[in-house]
Amino acid sequence: MTSGIQNNCKENSDLLQNHLIGRMARSLLSMTFLLLICSLCGSLAFSFSVFLRPEEASQVLRIHKRANHFLEEIRLGDLERECMEEKCSFEEAKEIFKSQEKTMEFWFDYKDLNPCKENPCKNGGVCKVKYYQHSCICPPRFVGNECEIEKTECWYKNGDCWQYCQDNEQSLHVTCSCALGYTLSEDAKRCIPTDHFPCGLVKRSTHSNKERSFGHNQNDDGILDGENQTLSQENLTSWNQTLIQTLVEWNQTAVGGENEEYDFIKTKRNATESDLQSWINTNYTDENGDLKIIGGSFCRPGDCPWQVLIQNKKGYGYCGGSLISSQWVLTAAHCLDTIVPHHVTVGDFDKHQRDRDEQKVRVHQFWQHPQYDPNTFNNDIALIQLTSNVVFSQHVLSICLPSPNLATLLTEKGTVGTVSGWGSTHVKGRSTRFLLKVKLPVVSMDSCRQSTEKLITDNMFCAGYPEATQDSCKGDSGGPFAVVFRDTWFLLGIVSWGEGCAAAGKYGAYTRVSNYLAWIKEITESVTDSAGFLHGLK
């Protein structure tokens, strides 16, 4: 039995030994495998470190500085160390500048966050950084966050209105309106005639293209072009023939519609072509034989249809005026200083010949401006009321009055206006037989005041040329200074005073009509209900 026990112990010992040997072999195999894997990884890592990219390889030789390295937090902030040598955070930048505003200013540049880097402003707007955001400084006429909206205003091209313009603070656009006899079109800018004879609308006659001006050319807006034209003898002869054909036989119409004849009218006779040519040679030829009308030209029937000739009781025409409605005439106050006006003539061209649409109407009453000064000619303006309405036609028409905005635009330096009248052609000359006109540019107030020692007020403006070529003269007083704008004529000035006629370095002075719109409205409304012709004016 003892022998059996010993045999069992031996077998168990052998089994245990074999088990331990197996485990050791497996462990050794695992360790060998692990060593092999580690060896392979090491060789791969070595191979990768050899074949680095150039930019990575350059980093091997660089000395890397670490932010917040040892004792850095106790050192004072330094811009170069914190943000130039290293990439800094906003907090680090704030620690350096000690100011939120300066930090933000630096941070926008540091991170290239400037909103004005590429100008977002339209139409020439200037970009500015404000509170870390962009804002646009817009040029005139443009509004919006980026100046993208165009705003119309009356000071610029009359707000694109054809006649009257009014700024609207509650809107980006202006409000346009029209004179009596016109209506506003669908585009709310243009004015369309509704009457047969609305104010300021001249219908060109068949011979209008034959006009030759001695002055400077102007475009449709009355702006000076600066080129001169001359009147050739051929054109003059052709025009003379046309003129004679337009003179019709005598047909007396009494003053104020009454059947009354005047001796001064009976002395008139029909003009012939030889009469006209003889008169032109006598009155308009200088020593060299050149046609000389102080730079002017004939204002043929229908070309100055608002022109009025103011006459005394004996029929002597001594001043001009402008028809502003069928019953009202605007003239200079000094024309009524010593002579009482008896009647006016409209539609007249030849003072020695009855014209086709010529009308004579009695004067009912007149008003000089209450602040008129005969010494300085300040407020040189007067109103004449007629006893009856004139009959409008192609040759008899009222002229429109301008709004203050339009008047400012049309009296800018260089704007050309037309002055008409029967005044003298030279200082000591007699009045003319035929209605004449001359084109004159407005001059600056500075140039006007520097040209004279007399008082030039804001109620006046000057027009003319510095050289002695063109000007209005005595007898033209009270007449119109008219400017055409978008096919409509407006009364900008009244011939007031001057130093000589076309004197070198001197200009003519004109009453600024737009300064008296309130006074005109007050007078006309106080007398009758005829002030409707001021419709549209603000």
Point out the catalytic residue in the list 325, 451, 472, 477. Answer: 477
Specify the CATH number of the domain 208-534: 2.40.10.10
**CA 180 – CA 535 distance, rounded (Å):** 5
**CA 98 – CA 101 distance, rounded (Å):** 9
Helices and strands (H and E) in the chain: how many: 11, 23
Count CB-CB contacts under 10 A for residue 307.
28
Point out the catalytic residue in the list 380, 420, 424, 431. Answer: 380
380 noted as active-site residue:
yes
Residue 322's pLDDT is what? 97
355 noted as active-site residue:
no
Instruction: Give the tens place of pLDDT for each residue, 513-530.
Output: 999 999 999 999 888 765
Q: Cα–Cα distances in Å, from 130 out to 139, 143, 437?
A: 18, 18, 59
Backbone angles phi, psi at 167, to 5 degrees: -70, 145
CATH architecture of 157-193: Ribbon (2.10)
Q: Which residues of 389-419 are buried (b: 16+ CB within 10 A; e: fewer)?
A: ebebbbbbbbbbbbbebbbebbbeeebbbbb
Separation of first and last alpha carbons in the chain: 145
pLDDT tens series, the chain, 538 aa: 555 545 555 555 565 456 556 666 666 766 776 666 666 555 544 444 556 666 666 655 554 444 454 444 444 455 555 576 667 777 776 777 777 777 776 766 666 667 777 788 888 888 887 766 778 888 877 888 888 888 888 988 899 999 999 988 777 789 999 999 999 999 999 999 999 999 999 986 534 444 333 333 334 433 333 333 333 333 333 333 333 333 333 333 333 333 333 322 223 334 444 544 444 444 443 333 222 235 568 888 999 999 999 999 998 888 999 999 999 999 999 999 989 999 999 999 888 888 788 999 999 999 999 999 999 999 999 999 999 999 999 999 999 999 999 999 999 999 999 999 987 544 444 567 889 999 999 999 999 999 888 999 999 999 998 875 554 555 578 999 999 999 999 999 999 998 866 566 788 999 999 999 999 999 998 887 655 667 667 6
> Which ranges constitute the DSSP H helices of 327-368?
none
| Contact by Cβ (8 Å): 384, 185 | no
Point out the catalytic residue in the list 216, 334, 343, 369. Answer: 334
Map out the domains of the chain as residue ranges: 76-110, 157-193, 208-534
Which SS3 state, helix, strand or coil, does residue 438 take? strand
Which SS3 state, helix, strand or coil, does residue 413 take? coil
pTM: predicted TM-score of the whole model, two decimal places = 0.63
